[in-house]
Structure 1
Amino acid sequence: MMSNPSRATEFCLSGFPGSQGLHHVLFAVFFLFYSVTIMGNTVIIVIICVDKHLHSPMYFFLGHLSAVEMLTTSIIPMMLRRLLIHEMQTISLTACVAQLFLYLALGTTEFALVGAMAVDRYMAVCNPLRYNTMMNSHTCLSVVTGSWVFGFPSEIWPVYTTFQFTFCKSNVLDHFYCDRGQLLKLSCDDTLFIEFVLFFMAVFIILGSLAPTIVSYTYIISTILKIPTASGRRKAFSSCASHFTFVIIGYGSCLFLYVKPKQTQAVEYNKTVSLLISMLTPLLNPFIFTLRNDEGKQAPRDGVKSCCQLLKD
């Protein structure tokens, strides 16, 4: 722990409190979740690539969303190591910068993709005759490329500014990754202004991508309610239900974590919501988009049948 006002060159991640036995239990649970997350999202990407029935804009966006979800979980292996060896994890300043930047940049990319998927569902339900023309391969590729390009540059300044402060109070981060709020908490400088700037940036990024989602689903719900038959309404809703469920979980947790004026608030609060974002949301992604979607459920079955047929031959 640092006691002099020098610039930190490394940080110690305290992780989770509790006994070694509790840490081993948490390791088993989190390792299971992490394994299922990686396997589930990998299966989604592979199925989308090989199944011609899933070569549509919706699944094109979903494939990239699954890739982002897997990359977002890159903070989990270090957390698992900390639980297994039951000692404070040390991370260099450079690694801390890279970890925070990747985590925030991928999160921003994810928001952009989720907004794009909402607009895609709006076109599919509200403008079905123009859907194939408007959502062609060129448009989809441009939207996905724009989402990735927007996600990374937009987080350069916030991360750069965060690490311009002098962290002299301590070098112990009471978290399982390089959380920005905990970093600002260790600074001896006045961080109030930059916290408000970061707050407004979070509002712009999160609510900026949430706005087209809200508008799209307002029109979608209005259109679905006008469908005369119950089977027609059910079919239209089923094509949007998985995405809508993901929006509620993903945006809900991020709004609680980032859209607040005070970035340095309650540690346990931040840990819980961060765990929800980095582990639970990516874990639920494969189940939400396959179990709530007829095409998603049928594709794995077709894949298994094809593999069995190849083995027989």
Structure 2
Amino acid sequence: MKTLRRVLFPLAIFPFKSIVNAQKKDSIPLKVRAFFADKFPQNRDLIVDFTQTAPYKFSSELQGADLPDNRVKSFQQIRAGANIYFIKKKNWLLGTSLNYRYTSMNTEHPVEPGAGKQEKNFHYHTEAVNFNYFSRLFNKTAIYTASVSVDGSNQHFERARGTVTASVILKATPKTKMIIGIAGFIDPSAQIPVLPIFTYENKFNNGWVLDILLPKKMLIRKDIFANGRISLGTEMDNTNFYLYRNNRTYEFRQVEINSGAMYEHNLGGNFVGILKTGIRAVPRARVFDKEESFKDYIFEAKYQPSFYLDVGISYNPFGKPRTK
């Protein structure tokens, strides 16, 4: 994966999971609607969550010079997102994705020499228009997507990006689903301009389900109680925002590997409560000039793993209650 999920998994890629059951061309619209009506859909139409991590230490360097070891005393995030489809036709879908993230970090010592304030608050948002087209390729259902997005801070819009993908459903049975594909990124800051995609889901006889979407996640999950589901495994996430220094714009990016457990509970009325916890590992974080790429960084940090807790709630207008 790119080291950042935002470049690896723009929202245009997410519809893959919403059409994995569409093996026949004439049934695509019905299968899409059926997926969104599932009690635990892959794409949440509306979602809000809060993340808190335990304190953790990190080492860093600025313009090639090592800085003293430091410590993040507190890290919190509030995120809100919406996935909305404007038009649903037999062979294509048109929609939008809207996301906002507020990040608050409090370090023990100033990251920048001479800086006086350790606590920093950042606002980041993205808006995208997504187009999905379904057709046939080698007698298999093929999905083509295109996405155009912009992002920015509370001060400015900063960057425009594009994503195109092509994928083929190799298998779609009640027990097993498999998709292969490729994604291309129109973004000068992307670390990897082209990325392979692999999706696999398998239902075992004991009720557990293996859910893989590479390189984003590897999970096993199972329905429990009357309206719950537990998932165990690893997911990748990211944090990024813009910084303004000396009349220049910089971007901060870090990839996060979250390993642990997630519990989801259907609260009724199409609301789903979400609780995640485990260990978060951050291989590296970088700051680079917006006009440059991720590899041309001026600041890099390496963090120790930390405990994290995430609490959220989603609302899915197309959902419907399901009983066992």
Taking structure 2 as the reference length, the TM-score comes to 0.26
| Larger Rg over CA atoms | 1
More helix by share: 1
* Structure with higher RCO (Cα < 8 A, 6+ apart): 1
More strand by share: 2
